[in-house]
Amino acid sequence: MSSTEAIEVTVTAPIASFRNPLYQGIQAGLPCPPPSTVGGMLAATVGDWESVPRGTRFAMAFTAEGSGTDLETYHPAAAKAASRKATIKDRHFLTHINLTAWLLRDLDMWEQAIRTPVWPLRLGRSQDLATARIRRVFLASGGTGTQGHALIPHTTRPDPAFRNNGEQMQLPTAMTIDRARTAWGIYRYARTGSPAQIPADYTTPGGQAVILLPQIHPHTAFATA
């Protein structure tokens, strides 16, 4: 079986919050960051989307050790001034998060960008700073791997022995630069991890399935939508 060199990025933060954009007027949280959020973080490391190679794709896995709810000032987006008054809303958050992302193209560029990012590294809300570690790894091509905590396209089918490979979610894959349009995708994610064996684009030496997610660059994602 052939192998491919990749960059493995590990992002950690004490607190992160990922608002579900399908719910308006409430701060419902997602159990993992959507692809658009991770794509935005990568774009920030190189400065802007114009500096991101248009063919950029990544695979990802995510864990959180805990969760909670606090209060946050909420500013409604409304046409009428009377409807734009700030109010207090519950906010769902995750604690001690760990995001692993794999990049297989433009390795030198991403390695430099993540080690010395143009903008501070954030995942989710702008006030929640994160840190990143990066290393070169070799991934085996093809085969099957363990789903674990990977975010995967909903079309990925597990071994028939595993009936449940996580919850199905509709998540933003990419947004236009002016944030006027969103490209949506349907994904599956197992909060507590899944032992399901699934067909993979690549696998890590430890057997983790690495499945590349769709295009996240605004120009490319909407050109192929």
Tens of pLDDT, residues 50-78: 999 999 999 999 999 998 887 777 666 66
What value does the mean pLDDT of the chain take?
A: 89
Residue 151 to residue 134: CA distance in whole angstroms: 20
Percent of the chain residues past pLDDT 90, beyond the cut:
68
- Per-residue pLDDT band at 86 (split at 50, 70, 90): confident
Starting from the edge strand earliest in sequence, which strands make up the sheet with 202-203, in order?
Answer: 58-74, 87-103, 3-16, 131-141, 202-203, 209-210
Residue 127 to residue 175: CA distance in whole angstroms: 21
Q: What is the mean pLDDT of residues 171-186?
A: 92
With 60 as the cut, is the pLDDT of residue 225 above it?
no
Torsion over CA: 156, 162, 163, 165 (sign): negative
Q: What is the mean pLDDT of residues 12-40?
A: 87
pLDDT score, position 194: 93
pLDDT score, position 199: 94
Contacts of 213 (CB under 8 A, 6+ apart): 35, 57, 58, 59, 60, 151, 153, 173, 185, 187
Output the pTM of the full model.
0.89
Q: What is the dihedral of CA 197, 59, 107, 128, to 10 degrees?
A: -130
Torsion over CA: 73, 170, 130, 17 (sign): positive
Closest by CA position to 153, among listed 215, 223, 221, 212: 212
Contacts of 120 (CB under 8 A, 6+ apart): 44, 129
Both structure tokens of 52: 């991101």
Both structure tokens of 134: 């990066």
Percent of the chain residues past pLDDT 70, beyond the cut:
88
